[in-house]
Amino acid sequence: MRITMVGAGYVGLVSGACFADFGHHVVCIDNDVTKVKALNRGEIPIYEPGLAELVASNVKQRRLSFSDDVAAGVRGADVVFIAVGTPSRRGDGHADLSYVYAAAREVAAALSDFTVVVTKSTVPVGTGDEVERIIREQNPDAKFAVVSNPEFLREGAAIRDFKHPDRIVIGTDDTRAREIMAQVYRPLYLNAAPIVYTDRRTAELIKYAANSFLATKVAFINEIADLAEKVGANVQEVARGIGLDNRIGAKFLHAGPGYGGSCFPKDTLALIKTGQDNEAPLRIIETVVAVNDQRKRAMARKVANAFGGNLRGKSVAVLGMTFKPNTDDMRDAPSIPLITALQDMGATVRAFDPVGMEQAKKVLEDVTFCSDAYECAKGAHALVIVTEWEQFRALDLKEMAVTMATPVIVDLRNIYSPDEVSRNGFLYCGVGRPQPM
Ligand code: NAD
């Protein structure tokens, strides 16, 4: 198969490299010329474990290449994936589809033989119809079918997720397109990945329903954590106790500072808008969004509570800024509103992240960026663990306690045992767990 990926970001680059690794011939197109030049020099513009090696080996075997020329990439392709961004539209929360439509127009102009055009970007119900209309308008002679094939990979584990997906969703009523998509994913049959064939609109809705459901689980356990704190219960044990029930499942039941990242915040908002536009309001998801929004500043109040509610003149050390470990992605990271709230309360903020520093510097102001966790803690009145990077799980707390102004740990990911931290002389505040005696 000859595959063209339009958009070489987190999804396009990982999917493109994995398809090439399956044996397909893939060209990844991006209109960011700097990105394409970097890729052609062998540099990977994002941090994703294993991606550099996967890209290098497939480039070497001549199955993967990069270009900024959409027309050249589309000519001769069997399948063209659109994997460009769909951020929240400024002001109203609808998905901004301008990148998808611009890509569709460029693809349309270059179509010749029958080509399957696939939206891999997360797009609201009906976007496939609009992409089809745009292509037909732009190139009335084009022979093509538009398919929805949403992506479910998670940053930080993207290659594994792509190669061992829980399911693949393919939305189309076109028999020929369905056969071609089956060939594209045939290498995954060996991994017994279930394929859900459905219509295009249903496929589009599956992606939003999945992300919104996961966001709901997170918001749910966070509210249970708040209650657990008030009544002296332990949210981690509640999560285990309910998660062992197969109908509930153990995943996405970790209490923390609220969800963030490049998908959940924008996708929940976009689904709410789709619901409102179609007179089917999604009140549960509206509440999830509101609960999650309030939570991030509430986490700053949790830090303040360790100081009798007053953070003025205090130095707070923040460990971890990316929205989760093993990525450099800072889009909508909970650390951003949390740090702003700490600053609003009069604290000065020092921060460290293992790979997210460069991205963090672009979005955070008045923060002292440190070179490691120990330098970050030095002189601070409180250490706040925001992202659970592996390297924060076994810090030398004794050493830290000596260098901090006051030994306080606010562990927003519950990665430490309260008793162990207290034994090292710290005041410990976790999420939804009883305070150590
Ligand atoms: P991204 O911003 O990392 O990448 C998008 C890329 O598309 C950028 O490199 C941009 O330069 C390029 N681009 C934009 N317009 C273009 C055009 N006309 N021609 C060529 N290139 C163009 O975004 P992402 O995180 O990869 O997300 C892409 C889509 O996948 C979004 O809809 C997102 O919701 C969805 N998604 C993301 C994830 C994730 O974990 N990041 C997971 C599943 C689904």
Q: What value does the mean pLDDT take over residues 360-373? A: 98
pLDDT, tens only, 286-295: 999 999 999 9
Give me the pLDDT at residue 91, please. Answer: 79
425 plus 288 within the same structural domain: yes
**Which one of 198, 221, 249 terminates a domain?**
198
Quick one: pLDDT at residue 90? 85
pLDDT computed for residue 102 by the predictor:
98
Quote ipTM for the complex. 0.99
- Band of the pLDDT at 434, cuts 50, 70, 90? confident
What does DSSP say about strands 382-385 and 2-6: parallel, antiparallel, or unpaired? unpaired
In tens, the pLDDT along 140-191 reads: 999 999 999 999 999 999 999 999 999 999 999 999 999 999 999 999 877 6
208 located within any domain? no
Q: Is 122 annotated as a binding residue?
A: yes
Q: In this predicted structure, what is the pLDDT of residue 435? A: 75
CATH number at residue 48: 3.40.50.720
The pLDDT of residue 269: 97
Which tens digit of pLDDT belongs to each residue from 234-265?
A: 999 999 999 999 999 999 999 999 999 999 99
- Domain residues for 250? 213-429
Q: Which amino acid is at 429?
A: C
Going by pLDDT thresholds of 50, 70 and 90, the confidence category of residue 5 is very high
Does position 344 have pLDDT exceeding 80, yes or no? yes
Identify the residue whose C-alpha is closest to ligand 1 atom 41: 10
Task: Please tell me the distance between residue 155's alpha carbon and the centre of ligand 1 in angstroms.
Answer: 12
**Domain-located, residue 205:** no
Catalytic positions, please? Answer: 263
> What is the C-alpha to C-alpha distance for residues 368 and 365, in angstroms, rounded to an integer?
9
pLDDT at 51: 98
> End-to-end alpha-carbon separation of the chain, Å?
63
Residues 183 and 259 in one domain: no
**436 inside domain:** no
Condensed to tens digits (0 to 9), the pLDDT of residues 297-312 reads 999 999 999 999 999 9
Residue type, 359: Q
The answer to the question of residue 437 being in a domain is no
Indicate if ligand 1 lies below 6 Å from the C-beta of 414.
Answer: no
Task: Verify whether ligand 1 is closer than 6 Å to residue 95 (CB atom).
Answer: no
- 292 alpha-carbon distance from chain centroid: 16
Confidence of residue 363 (pLDDT cuts 50, 70, 90): very high
Which of the listed residues 198, 222, 247 is the one where a domain comes to its end?
198
**Per the domain annotation, does 123 fall within a domain?**
yes
Which residue among 173, 198, 223 closes a domain?
198
Residue 276: the pLDDT is 96
Q: Say yes or no: 221 and 166 in one domain.
A: no
Determine the average pLDDT of the residues in 262-281. Answer: 97
Question: Could you give the residue ranges of the DSSP H alpha helices within 48-173?
Answer: 51-60, 70-74, 98-110, 127-138, 158-163
Verify whether ligand 1 is closer than 6 Å to residue 99 (CB atom): yes
Average pLDDT over residues 74-78: 95
Q: 10 C-alpha to center of ligand 1: Å? A: 6
Q: Could you tell me which residue, 192 or 374, shows the higher pLDDT?
A: 374
* Interacting residues of 417 by C-beta distance below 8 A, sequence separation 6+: none
Determine whether the annotation assigns residue 255 to a binding site: yes
Question: Which residue has the least CA distance to atom 1 on ligand 1?
Answer: 9
**Which residue blocks in 75-126 are alpha helix, DSSP H?**
98-110
337-to-86, 112, 236 alpha-carbon distances in Å: 22, 48, 25
Mean per-residue pLDDT for 359-364? 97
Task: Give me the long-range contacts of 221-226 (CB less than 8 A, separation at least 24).
Answer: 221/252, 221/253, 221/254, 221/255, 222/255, 222/256, 222/258, 222/291, 222/292, 222/295, 222/431, 223/291, 224/255, 224/432, 225/255, 225/431, 225/432, 226/432
Q: Report, in this order, helix, strand and coil percent for the chain, each rounded to 5.
A: 45, 15, 40
* Same domain for 166 and 243: no
243 is in an annotated binding site: no
Is residue 158 a known part of a binding site? Answer: no
In the structure, what pLDDT confidence band is assigned to residue 436 with cuts at 50, 70 and 90?
Answer: low
How many domains is the chain partitioned into structurally?
2
Summarize the confidence of residues 199-210 as an average pLDDT: 98
pLDDT score, position 172: 98
Q: Using CA atoms, how far apart are residues 131 and 138, in angstroms rounded to an integer?
A: 10
**262, 264, 328: residue to mutate for ligand 1 pocket, most atoms within 8 A of CB:** 262
Which protein residue's CA is at the shortest distance from atom 18 of ligand 1? 103
Please state, rounded to an integer, the average pLDDT across all residues of the chain.
Answer: 96
Residues 120 and 81 sit within 8 Å (Cβ to Cβ): yes
